[in-house]
């Protein structure tokens, strides 16, 4: 398989990844966690797990996701707070019907919520 590498600041090392992965969600999509009660807006996507080994190993083995799948950075919210989450593709589902997300950093990255999606602010694309 054709592979590529990228540096992950969260992991503090170079990550080896397939050159092509199939991300189910896009930047600006509203998603919901399948197991935990929170939702969020995708603001970045890693083609495979790219966080620290300590973070990965802190996830209980019975629910630990496989590393070789897309992982999403989310501006997340639950009933109590807003925060940034890092979630595997297998643990996310679409949540466009849930309406806008209330996160204080949304306006820094995205335009107003429209048609179940947040358009990225002009000039912020990779």
Query: Residue 96: what pLDDT?
Result: 72
Full set of structural domains in the chain with CATH: 3-18+26-109 (2.30.30.390)
pLDDT in tens, 1-54: 566 666 766 666 676 666 566 889 999 999 999 999 999 999 999 988 999 989
Single pTM value for the model: 0.83
Q: Give the mean model confidence (pLDDT) for residues 52-72.
A: 92
What lies within 8 Å, CB to CB, of 61 at 6+ separation is: none
Strand order in the sheet with 71-77: 82-88, 71-77, 39-46, 30-33, 92-94
C-alpha–C-alpha distance, residues 97 and 54, integer Å = 35
Two tokens, residue 84: 């940034």
| Cβ atoms 110, 101 nearer than 8 A | no
Average pLDDT over all residues of the chain:
88
Q: Which of 20, 5, 14, 24 is nearest to 87 (CA)?
A: 24
């Amino acid at each position: 398989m054709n592979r590529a590498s990228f540096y992950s600041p969260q992991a503090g090392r170079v990550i080896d990844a397939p050159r092509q992965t199939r991300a189910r969600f896009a930047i600006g999509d509203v998603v919901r966690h399948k197991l935990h009660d929170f939702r969020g807006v995708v603001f970045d996507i890693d083609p495979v797990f790219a966080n620290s080994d300590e973070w990965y190993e802190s996830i209980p083995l019975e629910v630990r996701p496989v590393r070789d799948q897309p992982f999403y950075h989310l501006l997340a919210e639950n009933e109590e707070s807003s925060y940034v989450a890092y979630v595997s593709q297998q643990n996310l589902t679409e949540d466009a019907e849930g309406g806008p997300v209330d996160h204080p950093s949304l306006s820094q990255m995205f335009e107003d919520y429209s048609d179940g999606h947040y358009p990225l602010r002009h000039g912020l694309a990779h």
